[in-house]
């Protein structure tokens, strides 16, 4: 899959910028011109305000770094133009290794140096990440849209997305977190919590589901 940003200069597929992936790798990846622009400009400051249990009071990234003494692996799932994850990379410096994922690519990615930006489908992303490798996966709108695509959060029709979250959790280290914004999350939480019973702790606060791997 195309990867842009950190340590990739000179090897980037710039011809694939401004493109949307519409078919996954195993089916011979296919692209079309990207036309989705909404919700792609969020800043790191805005992200922090969206996830208060991660950043207000105690700072999860700083605490994780202090505890383990090594860079915290952070993934922005559905990073859009990459402004937020680039802001985190600038703020935390060598304390984090920053990654962004999106099935839509943007010309702004060429200006981001401190982040690896993964141009992929959600399914192919799972193949890119190693199990027990990521400290924090956050998603302001990306995972919410994945749930929306499974019949508007119908409690009986988002099983595939729940299973995807289960697979995504395998990529998270013990004590690491997945956090995503999801209005009406009380509809999603019961079935997801049941699926991950014994594997994770849950909290739903201010339209955000926080999943902490046990």
Helices and strands (DSSP H and E) totals, the chain: 8, 10
Residue 57 binned pLDDT confidence (cut-offs 50, 70, 90): confident
Half-sphere exposure of 117 (CA within 13 A, CB side): 31
Examine the pLDDT at 23 and tell me if it is beyond 90: no
Examine the pLDDT at 126 and tell me if it is beyond 70: yes
83-101 mean pLDDT? 96
% pLDDT > 90, the chain: 63
Q: State the pLDDT at residue 35.
A: 75
Q: State the pLDDT at residue 112.
A: 92
- 147-155, long-range: CB within 8 Å, 24+ apart, which pairs? 147/182, 147/188, 153/184, 153/187, 153/188, 155/187, 155/188, 155/190, 155/191
% pLDDT > 70, the chain: 91
Element of type H or E holding 212 = strand 208-213
């Amino acid at each position: 899959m195309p990867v842009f940003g950190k340590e990739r200069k000179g090897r980037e597929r710039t011809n694939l910028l401004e493109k949307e992936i519409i078919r996954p790798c195993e089916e011979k990846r296919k692209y079309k011109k990207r036309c989705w622009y909404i919700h792609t400009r969020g800043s790191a400051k805005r992200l922090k305000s969206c996830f208060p249990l991660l950043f207000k009071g105690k700072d999860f990234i700083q605490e994780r770094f202090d505890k383990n003494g090594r860079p915290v692996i952070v993934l922005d799932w559905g990073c859009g133009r990459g402004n937020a994850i680039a802001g985190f990379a600038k703020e935390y410096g060598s304390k984090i290794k920053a990654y962004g994922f999106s099935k839509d690519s943007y010309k702004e990615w060429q200006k981001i140096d401190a982040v690896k930006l993964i141009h992929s489908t959600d399914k192919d992303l799972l193949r890119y990440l190693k199990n027990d490798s990521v400290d924090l996966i956050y998603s302001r709108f990306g995972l919410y849209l994945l749930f929306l695509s499974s019949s508007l959060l119908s409690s009986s029709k988002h099983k595939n997305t729940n299973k995807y979250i289960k697979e995504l959790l395998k990529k998270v280290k013990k004590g690491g977190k997945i956090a995503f914004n999801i209005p009406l999350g009380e509809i999603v939480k019961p079935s997801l919590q049941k699926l991950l019973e014994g594997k994770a702790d849950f909290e739903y606060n201010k339209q955000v589901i926080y999943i902490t791997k046990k």
